[in-house]
A and B are shown apart, each in its own frame.
Chain A
Amino acid sequence: MPHEFKLSSQQVSAKDLPVLKIILSLTKTNAVASWDYTDNAQVAAALMVDTDSDEGRSAFKKLINNDRKQALIAYGNPPEGLDAVNDIFVLPKPLRSKNIIPVLHQAAEWFINIQQESLIAKEPSKSTEEKTQNTLTKTGLRTQTIRRIINLLPNDQNKALHIVEKANNQLVVIDRWRNRYYVYSPINADISKLLLSDARNFFIEELERKQLNKEIEKLIPHELDITLWKAALSISDGQLFDGLLRTESFQLRRWPDLKRLGNDPLHMKLTAMLRRGGTIDYLADFLNAPIDEVIRFTNACYALGFLDHQHQPIAQATSAKKQLSNSKRGLLSRIRNRLGI
């Protein structure tokens, strides 16, 4: 599920406004963030102001000085001296999707970070150092410095991607729907490294089903999920994938096939935990597991499209662990020992 954001505007012309709304509607299929238009600036994550008029510039300056929670986007030429301010984003005219989408992404990062900082500030027991550290790690979007190819795959199970090297070598077609990938040359059959590569170094295009069928006609299929799973688990930077936040609660919509993907005892436990749902910290705390391991597992489940954002987290009962009596726990442990599992 992508994050959902709203954008409001001021002083934007009647000619530009419909175009803006159409461009926003294009983000509906975005795996990371989708945007809607709203007339209510209070609920907006970003506010776009046409700064090419005197009224617009004046309104923009006022907004900058306010204690605001929205990302500010200057549409046109920003007021003099303000373009160097970090907290504003500049969108050149005319309105084009190729310009606005990156700006929206930055605005989303900014908005999420502001929210996170506000949340962390409300945690009185944490030291300043801890809070700072949390700010850095809890924000899934901003700290993701490399946007890997694997980050572009999740969520849309119907998506097929055609990946071409910038030197124009056709590399791979990835078909989420069929859980297959197809390489143009057998020497590229192992795509693990490719999945972890910086997406900026490649041309990546989405394929329609017809195009896909034509493209893969003569190519040999390989199973995608195991490669995807292993690649996701191999990332050890402690970062959640784009679209996931550490403060969020997650739930699994299905069990990973641990028979095929590798039967790791911790993964089995995490899977069982995620039937009910929980945040990364809750899972790690409950199972006494390293946070990085939980993050890796969460990323891997997300990469395979098994993870759901839990919009209404279930209360995480601390006493739940005690539901199983000690005698039954001991019994299960003895059965495990006997069966060697």
Chain B
Amino acid sequence: MSQIKFIFTGSPGAGKSTAIAAISEFPPVATDVFATDSLSGVKEKTTVAMDFGEITLENGQKVRLYGTPGQKRFRFMWEILVQGGLGLIILIDNRRPNPVADLELYLSNFETFIDETDAVIGITGTDVKDTPTIDDYYELLNKRNQMFPIFTIDARQKDDVLLLLNALMTCLEIPS
């Protein structure tokens, strides 16, 4: 039987591991190493292969929450992780130099998976840096002729992560 899973992806440091931790039944299994490159100034560790969390449904079914490594050098992992996924949660760190370009990158890299399922976008770090604005992200979506929910979130807040999942599941339920 195929796994039931949601995929969390997005820019390094955007809070994918934190978001999974906010809703997983157990502390996520993380495969972190010390960050190299520009990320080392933002956080000490970064995900290498994946983060893994889980939710058990009433009937015993398990819903897996997978976080893909955000750094480009781990791109090979992305295609493996999305197989059989219900939908994609993209987290973008607004503090990075070009977060709109980051979003474009993830929309392009996961294009096939998004076409088959759906996506929701969470913007983090807006309390530290308020530009680009949500309007700037929607401008990108309009250019790509796409319409996904975008919310500013705090990945540490369970309610914020649930809002993303709720929006994603609503999109999956409604024909697009």
Q: Which residues of A contact B (CB under 8 A)?
A: 252-255, 257-259, 263, 268-269, 271-273, 275-276, 317, 320-321, 323-324, 328-329, 331-332, 334-341
Which 9 pairs, one residue from A and one from B, show the smallest C-beta to C-beta distance? A320-B175, A272-B174, A255-B149, A254-B138, A275-B147, A341-B166, A272-B170, A334-B57, A268-B170
Contacts of A317 in B (CB 8 A): 175
Interface size on B, residues (CB 8 A): 36
A332 to B165, CA, bound (A): 10
A275-B147, A331-B4, A332-B169 known; A337 and B163 CB under 8 Å?
A: no
Contacts of A332 in B (CB 8 A): 86, 169, 172-173
Binds A, one of B11-19, B58-66, B74-82, B95-103: B58-66
Contacts of A328 in B (CB 8 A): 172
Contacts of A272 in B (CB 8 A): 167, 170-171, 173-174, 176
Of residues 22 to 44 in B, which have CB atoms within 8 Å of A's CB atoms? 23
Contacts of A337 in B (CB 8 A): 57-58
The answer to whether B105 has its CB under 8 Å from any CB of chain A is: no
Q: C-beta contact mask, B107-151 vs A, less than 8 Å → 1, else 0?
A: 000000000000000000000000000110010011000011111
Is B58 a contact partner of A269 (Cβ separation < 8 A)?
no
A263-B163, A320-B175, A332-B169 known; A339 and B23 CB under 8 Å?
A: yes
Please name the residue on chain B nearest to A270 by beta carbon.
B174
Is B55 a contact partner of A339 (Cβ separation < 8 A)?
yes
A258 to B149, CA, bound (A): 10
A339 to B57, CA, bound (A): 9
Contacts of A268 in B (CB 8 A): 166-167, 170
A214 to B172, CA, bound (A): 48
Contacts of B176 in A (CB 8 A): 272, 275-276
A324-B173, A332-B173 known; A253 and B138 CB under 8 Å?
A: yes
Is B61 a contact partner of A334 (Cβ separation < 8 A)?
yes
Nearest Cβ distance between residue A251 and chain B, in whole angstroms?
A: 8
A320 to B170, CA, bound (A): 14
A273 to B174, CA, bound (A): 6
A253 to B176, CA, bound (A): 14
A324 to B172, CA, bound (A): 8
Contacts of B175 in A (CB 8 A): 276, 317, 320-321, 323-324
Contacts of A335 in B (CB 8 A): 55, 57, 63, 165, 169
Contacts of A253 in B (CB 8 A): 138, 142, 147
Is B149 a contact partner of A271 (Cβ separation < 8 A)?
yes
Q: Which among A255, A269, A275 is the interface contact of B150 at CB below 8 angstroms?
A: A255
Please name the residue on chain B nearest to A329 by beta carbon.
B173
The answer to whether B71 has its CB under 8 Å from any CB of chain A is: no
Is A336 a contact partner of B169 (Cβ separation < 8 A)?
yes
Contacts of B170 in A (CB 8 A): 268-269, 271-272
Contacts of B163 in A (CB 8 A): 258-259, 263
A66 to B62, CA, bound (A): 72
